[in-house]
Structures are given as structure tokens and as C-alpha cells.
Amino acid sequence: MVQAAEYIRDKLEEEAILARAFSHSEERGTQDYGLVLVGHSLGAGTASILAILLRQDYPTLQCFAYSPPGGSLSMPAVEYTKSFITSVVVGKDVVPRIGLHQLESLRADLINTIKRSKDPKWKTIVCSVVCCGCASLPTSAAELKSEDSQMAEYLKAKEVAREVAVHPSDSSIALTLHQPLYPPGRIIHIVRHHPTKGE
């Protein structure tokens, strides 16, 4: 996304595309038009980065990012972009919610859960497929729900598993810890409203 945004910025500057667009029809006021960037998914991430790159030259620009990747910007960069980037997220769309940090946490949680399971590993994996006719909950999950002390122990182990020291040392499966990254700018979350019978 960064390379694409830099390429577009360089192309806009080298060919004076924006300068020509703003002077295209001065009798219609094109010189007073604002610059608006729009993108969807990876294009939204690219548009957001391009907005940051062009912001100094075009201080009034606005960017609308539809379903941008969740792993786009650090929190300080998100704060900086809130005045000129608006991200639009629809429903439960996974793209704006996922990044390397979230995938690493998921991996650590899965390894911890499998390690703590009292069931055979094959049963845990096979029963995760709904069609296989297993009980609704694996034995260890049912036991976990039954006692609060076990749940507290599980949550503590989950947090420990997410720390760097617990990551496997085998280079073929080891992970690096990435800084959490977020969707750019302000976020508008569009959800479907299901009216109740009284409405």
C-alpha cells in the first residue's frame, strides 16, 4: 500500500495531473475544487496513505476509506488522520478488524487452548468441524465453563501465552511481535437495525 501510494503521488507530481485538473475549467471554478480521495479495501489503505503524503500540499483534502485494512496505521497516526480521513466499516466485515498483531494473538490463543485441552488433539481438531457429529462442546470446554477458578486460570494462561517469551523458539514457527495497527481516521460503523415488534 505504501509503495502504491508513493507511486501515485510521484505520478501526480511528475505529470502535474492535479495542477492541470484544478486549472482545467476556471470559468466553472475548478481552481476552487477540493481534493477528495476514495478507496475500497486495499485501495482504501492506499488512499489513506496517499492522503497523508499529500496533506501538506493540500491541507483541505478529505479521504473516504471504505473497508480499509485494519493493520494500516499506528495509534498516533490514526489520531493525526482523524481530521481528514473517514473510514467506513459495514457490519461484521473482517478486513478492518484484522492485522498481523491480531493474527499473532489468535495463533497464541489456539496453541494455548490446544496445549491445555484434556481431549486428544485429533478430537479437538475434528470436533471443530460442525458436520462431524461431536458433542456441542469438547469435554475440556464443558469443564472450563463449569468452574470459575478454571476460567480464571485459563484467562491468566492466555495472557501469558501472548507474551514474547512464550513464543516458540523454533525458527520455522516462531513469530515476531508486531505493533497493533488500526484503520485510519474516524470510523463510521454501519450496522443493520432490526426493528422489534413494537417499532
The catalytic residue positions are 41, 93
Q: At what angle do helices 42-54 and 2-14 cross, to 10 degrees?
A: 50
How many other β-carbons are positioned within 10 Å of the β-carbon of residue 69? 23
Q: CA–CA separation, 146 vs 157, rounded Å?
A: 18
User: What separation, in Å, do the N-terminal and C-terminal C-alpha atoms of the chain show?
Assistant: 45
How many Cα atoms occupy the beta-carbon half-sphere of 175 within 13 Å? 20
| DSSP collapsed to 3 states, 6-27 | HHHHHHHHHCCHHHHHHCCCHH
Question: Coil, strand or helix: which one is 189?
Answer: strand
- List the one residue out of 122, 80, 89, 57 whose CA is nearest residue 189: 89
How would you classify the pairing of strands 62-66 and 186-190? unpaired
